[in-house]
A and B are shown apart, each in its own frame.
Chain A
Amino acid sequence: MADIELQGISKKFGPNTALRGVDIDIKDGEFFVLLGQTGAGKTTTLRVIAGLEKPDTGTVLIDGQDATTWNAAERDVALVLQQYSLYPRLTVRGNLEFPLKSRTQNFTADEITQRVERAAETLQITRLLDRKVERLSGGEMQRVSIGRAIVRQPRVFLMDEPLSALDANLRDVLRVELKKLHQELGATFVFVTHDQVEAMSMGDKIGVLDRGKLIQVGTPDDIYAKPLNTFVARSVGTPPMNLVDGVVKGGKAVLNIGGHALSIANSKAQDGQNIRFGIRPEDVLISPDAPAEARIFDVENHGVIKILTLDLDGTHVHATVSAQMKVKIDDTVRFGWKPDKVLYFDPVSGLNLSIQ
C-alpha cells in the first residue's frame, strides 16, 4: 500500500504539451479518479505514475521516496488498460500467472497456483481458467485483466478507462465490483475515466484535468457543489450546470437574456457587477408563482424525473422536475431558482467567485 505524490509534472510529446505542472497528492488506500476529456492528459499522468513515461520536469514520490527515475518494474504498481493487455496465446491461467513469473518475483509453483485461484475466485472467473483468452467475452476479458493486476498484490492499482469498452449493463456491474474490490484490498487505486458518472460514483477523490492542467481536486460532493470554475462545473452532472450571464442589480440577478430578475441569496457580488450565474438543473424551480417565464423547448422523460429544456430567447436552460409534472413541448411555464444554490462565476476568467 502506498501514497503517491506528483510534484510539478510536465510532459511534452514533440510539439504537443500533455501535462503542464501537475501536482497531485493521492493518499494511501484512496480511490482517486482522474476525470477529463480525451487529450486532457489523464492517461499520460497514469503512465508517469506507472513509470512508462518519464516526465520532462517534476518529481514522482511513492511512499515519500523519489521514484522519478525508477522503471516500471521497480514501482510495484499494476496497470489495467481498456483492452489489449491479455496475451492471446495464453490461457486465462497463463495470463494470471504471467506477472507472478517475472524476474522480480520469487514464488513457488504452489504459491502461484494459490494466488491465481484466489484471484479467480474473487473475480468469479474460476470456470474460465483453462480457456483461451481469444474465446472470452469483453466483460470476461476485463475481469481477467483486473485479475492479472490483483494476483501480484501491488502497492498501487492504475486503471486506464477499464470499463469504457464494455456495454452499459456490464459497466454497471463491474463498477460495483471494482468498488467492492477496492474496499477488500484496501489498496490505492488511480482510475482514469472520461465518464463523469463513473467518476462521481466510484471516486473518493476526483481530479479534474483540462488540457494538461489539473483544475481541481476534491471529493465528488465538493466537485459537484463547489466547482472551482465553469469548466469543472460543466464536467459533472447530467445535464450539466446551467450558466447564464447577468448583472447583480438591487440584490437581484438580472439576466442579460429576457431581463428576468431572479432573487439571490446574500453574496459578495457587488451591485452592477457582471456575473455568470451557475445553477444546477435540479435547483431550477418550475412553479406558477415563479418570477420568470419561458417556453418549453424539449421534454425528456427519464422515468423518475423529467428533464425540461427551457428556451430563453435562444439560450437553453435545463430543469429537472418530477416525472409526474404534466408538461409538453411549447407550453409556457414560469421558472425561478433556489437562491442559495446559485453560484457566481467571473464571466471572463470563469473562476468561481464564491470560493475566493
Chain B
Amino acid sequence: MAGVRTPREKWTNRTAIAAVFLALIIMLTPIYWITATAFKPRNLATTIPPTVFFTPEVSPFVKLFTKRSQLREQPTQEEYESAPWWEKMVVDGGEKVVRNRKTGEVRSSGYSDRFKNSLIVSIISTVVAVCMGTLTAYGFSRFKVKGEDDWMFFILSTRMLPPVVVAIPMFLMYRVVGLNDTHLGLIILYTAFNLSFAVWIMKGFIDEIPKEYEEAALVDGYTRMQAFFKVVLPEALTGMAATAVFCFITAWNEYAFALIMTNRNAQTAPPYIPSQVGSGLPDWTVIAAGTLLFLIPVAIFTFLLRNHLLRGMSFGAIRK
C-alpha cells in the first residue's frame, strides 16, 4: 500500500536514518577537524581539551603560501630586546630565509607549485589511463583474443604487490633514463598503476553494452571505428566517468612514489604537506590548511561526475 506504513516499517525507517546520521558524523568529523584547525590561531591548534570556539583567522593560509611557516613565532618588541644575542641571531637568520634579501618581500613557499604539479600529473595520467583502458577493454570485450583470460589476469596481477616494493628499482631505472623528478615520470607511473584497474572496470561496462548496437551500425554502413565512437563510446561514458574518478583519486592521493621519485620540480602536494612538519616547527594549522585545499579538487571532480558515478556504481546500469 502506497503511503501507509506499518509500525514495523516505521521503525526500520527510523533506524536506517539514525544509522545514516551516525555514519555521516563519523565521516565528517575529520573534515570538520581539518577545517577548524586550518582557521585556528596556532596556539589553539593543539590545546587539550580541543578549542571549539575561536576567532577564525587566515594566518595559516598566509603561512602556507609563504615561507613564514618556517619561522618561529615572532617575538614582541620587548621580548626581542630583552633576549640574549644568540636568540636574536636565530630570529634574524630566520628573517633572512623568509624575506628576499634585496626587496624585503616575504618569499612564497612551494605549495602552489606542488599543487599545480598534482593537478598536471593527476589529470593527464587519469585521462591517459581511462582512454587506454577503454580501448583495451573494448578489444578484449569484442574480439577473440588468444589467451584472453590469461592476459586479463596478467593485467590484474600488476596490482597484486604493494607498489612500494618496486619503488627502489623504479627509482634506479628512472635515474638512468632521466625521468626522476619530472612530470612525465610520474605520469607514466600513475598511468601504469591505474591502467589495470581501468581495463578491468571498463571491460565490465563494455561487456554490458550489447554487441547488437555496433553490428547494427556496421550493417548500416559504418566502419568499426565509427561504430565505436558513435555507438559504444556514448554508452560507455558513464563507466568512463566512474573509472576516471577512481583513477583521479588514486593519482591525486599517491604518496610513496611521489616522495621517492620527486623532490623539487615535479613534486606533488602529498609529500610536500607533511614536509612542513620538518621545516621550521610542526605548525598543525599550516598542515591543516594545506590538506583542506588539497581536498577541494577531488571534491569538485567527484561532484561534477556525480550523476555518472551513481549510475556507474550500480554496475550493469545500462537499460536492457
State the A residues within 8 Å of B (CB): 50-52, 71-73, 75, 77-79, 81, 83-85, 87-89, 98-99, 102-105, 134, 148, 152, 158
A78 to chain B, nearest CB (A): 7
Of the four ranges (under 10, 10 to 19, 20 to 34, 35 or more), the interface on chain B belongs to 10 to 19
Residues of B within 8 A of A72 (CB): 215, 218-219
Residue from A79, A89, A152 within 8 A of B215 (CB atoms): A79
Contact at A102–B216, with CB atoms within 8 Å? no
B223 touches A103 (CB 8 A): yes
Given contacts A84-B213, A87-B213, A103-B226, contact A77 B319 (CB under 8 A): no
Quick check: A102 and B221 within 8 Å, CB to CB? yes
- What residue of chain B has the Cβ atom nearest to residue A134's Cβ? B319
A104 neighbours in B (Cβ, 8 Å): 221
Report Cα–Cα, A148/B215, bound state, in Å: 13
CB pair A50–B235 under 8 Å, yes or no, is: no
Q: How far is the CA of A4 from the CA of B219 in the complex (A)?
A: 16
Asked if A73 and B235 make an inter-chain contact with CB atoms under 8 angstroms apart, the answer reads: no
Chain B residues with Cβ under 8 A from A77's Cβ?
Answer: 219
The answer to the question of B217 belonging to the interface, with a C-beta cut-off of 8 Å to chain A, is: yes
- Give residues of chain B (207-257) contacting chain A, Cβ–Cβ below 8 Å: 210, 212-213, 215-223, 226, 231, 234-235
The contact of A103 among B212, B216, B221, by CB within 8 Å, is B221
Q: Nearest A residue to B218 by beta-carbon distance?
A: A72
Q: Closest CB-CB distance, A75 to chain B, in whole Å?
A: 8
Q: A85-B212, A99-B220, A148-B220 are in contact. List 13 more A-B contacts (CB 8 A).
A: A72-B215, A72-B218, A77-B219, A79-B215, A81-B216, A85-B213, A88-B319, A98-B217, A102-B220, A102-B222, A103-B223, A103-B226, A134-B319
Identify which of B215, B221, B231 contacts A87 (C-beta below 8 A): B231
CA distance in complex: A152, B222 (Å): 13
A84-B218 in contact (CB<8A): no
CA distance A83 to B210 in the complex (A): 10
The chain B residue with its CB closest to the CB of A100 is B220
A87 cross-chain contacts in B, Cβ below 8 A: 213, 231, 234
Q: List the A residue with the shortest CB-CB distance to B226.
A: A103
Whether A89 touches B220, Cβ cut-off 8 Å, given contacts A72-B215, A81-B212, is no
Q: How far, in Å, is B206 (CB) from chain A's closest CB? A: 15
Chain B nearest CB, measured from A147 CB (Å): 13
Question: Are B212 and A105 in contact, with the CB atoms below 8 A?
Answer: no
Residue of B nearest to A52 (CB): B215
State in angstroms the CA–CA spacing of A52 and B223 once bound together.
Answer: 12
**Residues of B with C-beta under 8 A to A148:** 216, 220
In this complex, which of B210, B215, B221 has the most chain A Cβ atoms within 10 angstroms of its Cβ? B221
- Please state if B223 and A152 are interface contacts (CB–CB under 8 Å): no
- Residue among B216, B217, B231 with the highest chain A CB neighbour number at 10 A: B216
Chain B residues near A78: list those with CB within 8 A.
219-220
Asked whether, in the complex, the Cβ of B219 is within 8 Å of the Cβ of A79, the reply is yes
Residues of chain B within 8 A (CB-CB) of A85 are 212-213, 215-216
Name which residue of chain B comes closest to A105, CB basis.
B221
If A73-B222, A134-B319 touch, whether A84 touches B210 (CB-CB below 8 Å) is yes
Residues of B within 8 A of A103 (CB): 221-223, 226
Query: Could you name 7 residue pairs across A and B whose Cβ atoms are closer than 8 Å?
Result: A73-B221, A73-B223, A87-B213, A98-B220, A99-B221, A102-B222, A103-B222
Determine if B219 and A73 form an interchain contact, defined as CB atoms under 8 angstroms apart: yes
State A79–B215 Cα separation when bound (angstroms): 9
Residues on B with beta carbons closer than 8 Å to the beta carbon of A158: 219
Contacts of A71 in B (CB 8 A): 218
- Kindly list chain B residues whose C-beta atoms are within 8 Å of the C-beta of A81: 212, 215-216
Which residues does chain B contribute within 8 Å of A99, judged by CB atoms?
220-221
Please, which residue of chain B has its CB at the minimum distance from the CB of A82? B212
> Of the candidates A52, A84, A89, which one forms a contact with B219 in the assembled complex, judged by CB atoms under 8 Å apart?
A52
Chain B nearest Cβ from A159, distance in angstroms: 12
Contact call B235/A89, Cβ cutoff below 8 A: yes
A81 to B211, CA, bound (A): 11
CA A50 to CA B214, docked complex, whole Å:
13
Say yes or no: B234 contacts A73, CB within 8 Å. Answer: no
In the complex, residue of chain B having the shortest beta-carbon distance to the beta carbon of A89? B234
Using CB atoms, name the residue of chain B closest to A160.
B212
Given A103-B223, A103-B226, A134-B319, residue A52 in contact with residue B218 (CB < 8 A): yes
What are the 5 closest A-B residue pairs judged by CB atoms, nearest first? A102-B221, A99-B220, A104-B221, A84-B212, A85-B216
